[in-house]
């Protein structure tokens, strides 16, 4: 499947081939843990390095459709009815319009615990 890789270090957006399995997402992003954020109304979302804010210095950042700042490489994925990773519906051109490169900024890590 083709996912969209967003790399703020090189300010590039490209389609990448992947099997969609977790270990392949880790490899492409270059991380050990992931988080899914910036969910879009069409089911697309960004998969990012969950520990990027803990790096010193933090990786370069970007904004995505007003969400962020997000640090490090991200993958735009889609999601099917069963919750499985599928190709995103957004095109490369629409992703390019959604990105605002922020460069080397610092974002303070934030955690919130919600009681169930």
pLDDT digits (tens, 9 = 90+) for 32-81: 999 999 999 999 999 999 999 999 999 999 999 999 999 999 999 999 88
How do the domains of the chain map onto residue ranges? Answer: 2-103
Q: In the chain, how many H helices and how many E strands?
A: 2, 9
For the cut 80, the answer to whether the pLDDT of residue 111 exceeds it is no
Compute the distance between CA of residue 36 and CA of residue 55 in angstroms, rounded to an integer. Answer: 19
pLDDT band at residue 114, thresholds of 50, 70 and 90? confident
The pLDDT value recorded for residue 109 is 86
Q: Phi and psi at residue 51, in whole multiples of 5°?
A: -110, 10
Q: Does residue 116 have a pLDDT over 90?
A: no
Dist CA 92 CA 104 (whole Å): 24
Q: Is the pLDDT of residue 86 over 90?
A: yes
Q: Tell me the pLDDT of the chain averaged across its residues.
A: 94
């Amino acid at each position: 499947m083709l996912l969209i890789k967003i790399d703020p270090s090189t300010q590039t957006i490209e389609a990448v081939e992947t099997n969609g399995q977790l270990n392949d997402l880790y490899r492409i992003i270059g991380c050990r843990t992931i988080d899914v954020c910036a969910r879009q109304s069409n089911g697309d979302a960004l998969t990012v390095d969950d520990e990027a804010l803990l790096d010193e210095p933090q990786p370069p950042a970007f904004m995505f459709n007003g969400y962020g700042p997000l640090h490090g490489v991200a993958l735009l994925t889609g999601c099917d009815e069963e919750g499985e990773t599928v190709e995103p519906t957004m095109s490369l051109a629409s992703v390019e319009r959604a990105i605002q490169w922020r460069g080397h900024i610092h974002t303070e890590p934030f955690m919130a615990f919600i009681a169930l």
